Amino acid sequence: MELVRLSGLQRLARAAAVGLALAFAVLPLLWVVSIAVRPGTQAVYPISILPTSLTLDNITGVLFASNGIGLGPYRNAAFYGLSSAVITAVASTLGGYALARYSMRSGEALLIVILALSFLPSASRIVPLFILTSATGLYGTAQAVILAYAAGSIPLGIWLMAGTFRQIPVRLEQAARIDGAGTVLTMRRVVLPLAIPGILVVATLAFIDGWNSFSLPLILIPKAAAQPYTVALQRYIQEIGYGINWPLLSAGSLVALLPVLSVFAILQRRLVRVGGLGGAIRG
């Protein structure tokens, strides 16, 4: 949809701006890919932009070799991320519905506070979380990380779900009541199906947040076997004396990208359609 007609020069300028932004975002990724698929001998100075030969050794090395991090850290990250996504989805749906539907004098102010909370950098929560988990005996457990992830994702989740529910006309709920449906049936058959795009967005964001999280698990999980891949990959930087193991680090990062990319590929259309309520109300 072209809202404004652009002259030839303006088009050129636009293309250049888009190209620059794209390069900024994509080039580092391509660089990671380029390093990840070349033999280790080509990852030392002087370094070529394109690999002269391709290999999957780095990737299999990260996942299966004795100096690799194995599948475990990815499994851990997936478990923490998915658990946080489920908790976030449930809590955000309940909280968002309450804020959207029940008139509270402080409702709007509460929403602003909640949104502000979601902008807090996760680093600012580390020390309080460390003290909190130590005091409650949760330190080092999966529950500690999952709850910490979810606590970080729920504010934005509630905000997004409140917006989703506000787009669903109250009339539809009243219609369901008049049609004889109680609270549970109204929710299950009318409200939740219409909120699914929003719930998917919230769960996806929470999963990606958890999957990518580094500083929280670094502090909260001392045991190597329970650490996610983000912390495990750090070993390739830390092992001083051998230098940074760029090929394995890149291969490990590449593997970590795959779930995120596939989630977007699968949900793309539903994510964009958030709030597709065509036909509920006239017009």
Q: Which is nearer to another protein, 75 or 171 (CB)?
A: 171
Q: Does 269 bind another protein (CB under 8 A)?
A: no
Q: Does 1 bind another protein (CB under 8 A)?
A: no
* Part in contact with another protein (CB under 8 A); list of ranges 37-45, 118-126, 178-186, 245-253: 178-186
Q: Which is nearer to another protein, 165 or 246 (CB)?
A: 165
Question: Which tokens in the block code for residue 218?
Answer: 């670094």
Smallest gap, in angstroms, from Cβ of residue 274 to another protein?
14
Smallest gap, in angstroms, from Cβ of residue 249 to another protein?
46
Q: Does 281 bind another protein (CB under 8 A)?
A: yes
Q: Which of 63, 181, 218, 267 binds another protein (CB under 8 A)?
A: 181
**How far apart, in whole angstroms, are the C-alpha atoms of residue 74 and residue 84?**
15
Q: Does 177 bind another protein (CB under 8 A)?
A: yes
Ramachandran quadrant class, 70 (left: phi over 0; alpha: psi -120 to 50; beta: rest): left
Q: Does 274 bind another protein (CB under 8 A)?
A: no
C-alpha dihedral, 46 to 50 to 55 to 59, nearest 10°? 90
Q: Does 182 bind another protein (CB under 8 A)?
A: yes
Those residues whose C-beta lies under 8 Å from the C-beta of residue 221, and which sit 6 or more positions away, are 140, 144, 145, 227, 228, 231
Q: Which is nearer to another protein, 14 or 273 (CB)?
A: 273
Q: Does 8 bind another protein (CB under 8 A)?
A: no
Site for another protein in 94-153 (CB under 8 A): none
**How far apart, in whole angstroms, are the C-alpha atoms of residue 76 and residue 5?**
51
Collapsing DSSP states into helix, strand and coil, what is residue 93? Answer: helix
Number of residues in contact with another protein, rule: CB under 8 A?
23
**How far apart, in whole angstroms, are the C-alpha atoms of residue 91 and residue 155?**
10
Those residues whose C-beta lies under 8 Å from the C-beta of residue 118, and which sit 6 or more positions away, are 152, 155, 156, 159
CA angle 277, 280, 283 (to 5 degrees): 95
Smallest gap, in angstroms, from Cβ of residue 99 to another protein?
21
Those residues whose C-beta lies under 8 Å from the C-beta of residue 253, and which sit 6 or more positions away, are 32, 36, 233
x/- string (CB under 8 A) for another protein, residues 192-231? -xx-------------------------------------
Q: Does 184 bind another protein (CB under 8 A)?
A: no
Q: Which of 52, 180, 223, 240 binds another protein (CB under 8 A)?
A: 180
**How far apart, in whole angstroms, are the C-alpha atoms of residue 220 and residue 227?**
9
Which residues sit at the interface with another protein, rule CB under 8 A?
169, 171-172, 174-182, 185, 189-190, 193-194, 277-282
